[in-house]
Amino acid sequence: MASLFGRDALRSNYDFHAALLYRTALGLRPWSNERDTSQTSIVVMLKAVSTVGGNTGLFRADRNEWKGFQMDDPAKKPASIALELYSPSDEHVEITFRIRQGGQFHPTQADINRVLATLHTESSAAKATTQAVAARDSESTR
pLDDT at res. 88: 92
| pLDDT (mean) for 49-71 | 85
Using an 8 Å Cβ cutoff, are 90 and 12 in contact?
yes
pLDDT at res. 82: 93
This prediction has a pTM of: 0.72
Distance, CA of 1 to CA of 7 (rounded, Å): 8
The mean pLDDT of the chain is 81
pLDDT tens column, 90-135? 999 999 999 888 878 889 999 999 999 998 877 655 555 555 555 5
pLDDT at res. 61: 92
